[in-house]
């Protein structure tokens, strides 16, 4: 299963093509749009989310609500394009009022100008923008519909914002109220504390990052492989999640904490009862030897603060070489909630890809039968 994305932040539309879906799989557009709306929500988001009302438009690969087995192509229109057409039109000529030469710290601007030979950083930042993730959320919602009938579910929460930590130990049932909370935290007191911190950062023209937890429930053992380094499930998930803008760290299970403990306190002991193997702990985070072991997959992600600060940071003009302040574009103060939705989507797509590789199947009923036949 492969996803190709295209489009600029303020261009006409974002586009995506999913290859490798089986035929006769039901597609619920409403669920995709629900995921897109969640990505635009959460406390601390910027003004653009009031302009864009993301909805998917499928162009090919689906007929009568069922996949055809051909590439599924789709777009998400940028409503803000009407305000940017004179600066972003593919046809031209273009007006000059949106050029960016004061390269912004923490962005792709400076390196992108050098790499691609541009003189206007807008040619770089429009594609490097996290707006691109709307397509990945839509694709992830399709992948979630591939996984759900198999009994596989991806879900998550915000663990921390700006150092305000919700370190509670939660079970699956606790996650049901996450998306109702303004900050996708489970502990409401911690959420309110973090919201006050976001308000303070906004008043100061600053931004905040945080920590996200993603879980995969119901995946059978044996997905991924120990036989080749690039087939390991944790390696593939890490690579996919690190491709999300602003994600700077990924850990599974105990993660970095495992480096501080003796082996006897880290490795999950194995037991057998009632015809099945089981573990009493899940310090490995559901992956051993690069393969799913049947336990919940538990991933935590570190998200840096958004690098577009309204107060601006010190920089240099690419053309004049003069010192100046980087301009602040309309941006978020804290996008940790959006990142949580994106991370869920990226995880779902990666897991669906790994499942598809192992079970194959030209039709979705074949996929269901082959997955059911796998050992638990």
pLDDT at 221 over 90: yes
pLDDT, residue 93, reads 85
296/19 Cα distance (integer angstroms): 28
The fraction of the chain above a pLDDT of 90, given in percent, is: 86
Q: Which residue has the higher pLDDT, 364 or 44?
A: 364
Q: Quick one: pLDDT band at residue 326, thresholds 50, 70, 90?
A: confident
262/267 Cα distance (integer angstroms): 9
Average confidence (pLDDT) over 341-361 = 97
Q: Long-range contact list for 247-251, CB < 8 A, 24+ apart? A: 247/301, 247/302, 247/303, 247/304, 247/339, 247/343, 248/302, 248/303, 248/304, 249/301, 249/302, 250/299, 250/300, 250/301, 250/302, 251/285, 251/299, 251/300
pLDDT at 262 over 80: yes
pLDDT, tens only, 43-79: 988 765 666 689 999 999 999 999 999 999 999 999 9
């Amino acid at each position: 299963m492969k996803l190709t994305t295209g489009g600029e932040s303020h261009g006409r539309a974002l586009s995506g093509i999913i290859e490798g879906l089986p035929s006769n799989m039901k597609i619920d557009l409403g669920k995709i749009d629900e995921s897109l709306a969640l990505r635009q929500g959460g406390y601390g988001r910027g003004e653009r989310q009031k302009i864009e009302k993301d909805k998917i438009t499928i162009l090919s690969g689906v007929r009568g609500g069922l996949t055809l087995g051909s590439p599924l192509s789709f777009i998400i229109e940028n409503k803000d394009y009407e305000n940017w057409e004179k600066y972003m039109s593919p046809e031209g000529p273009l007006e000059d009022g949106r050029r960016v030469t004061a390269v912004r710290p923490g962005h792709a601007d400076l390196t992108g100008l050098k790499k691609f030979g541009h003189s206007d950083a807008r040619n770089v930042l429009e594609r490097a923008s996290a707006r691109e993730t709307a397509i990945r959320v839509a694709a992830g919602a399709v992948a979630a519909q591939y996984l759900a009938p198999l009994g596989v579910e991806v879900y998550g929460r915000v663990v921390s914002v700006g150092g305000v930590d919700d370190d509670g130990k939660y079970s699956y049932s606790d996650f049901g109220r996450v998306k109702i909370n303004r900050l996708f935290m489970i502990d409401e007191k911690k959420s309110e504390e973090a919201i006050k911190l976001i308000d303070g950062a906004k008043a100061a023209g600053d931004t905040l990052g945080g920590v996200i937890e993603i879980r995969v429930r119901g995946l059978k053992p044996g997905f991924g492989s120990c036989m080749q380094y690039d087939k390991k499930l944790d390696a593939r998930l890490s690579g996919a999640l690190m491709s999300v803008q602003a994600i700077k760290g990924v850990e599974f299970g105990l993660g970095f904490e495992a480096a501080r403990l003796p082996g006897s306190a880290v490795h999950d002991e194995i037991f057998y009862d009632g015809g099945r193997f089981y573990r009493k702990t899940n310090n490995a985070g559901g992956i051993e030897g690069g393969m799913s072991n049947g336990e919940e997959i538990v991933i935590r992600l570190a998200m840096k603060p958004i690098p577009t600060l309204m107060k601006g940071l010190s920089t240099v003009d690419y053309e004049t070489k003069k010192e100046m302040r980087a301009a602040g574009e309309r941006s978020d103060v804290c996008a940790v909630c959006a990142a949580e939705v994106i991370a869920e989507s990226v995880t779902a797509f990666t897991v669906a890809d790994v499942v598809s590789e192992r079970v194959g199947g030209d039709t979705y009923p074949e996929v269901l039968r082959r997955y059911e036949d796998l050992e638990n």
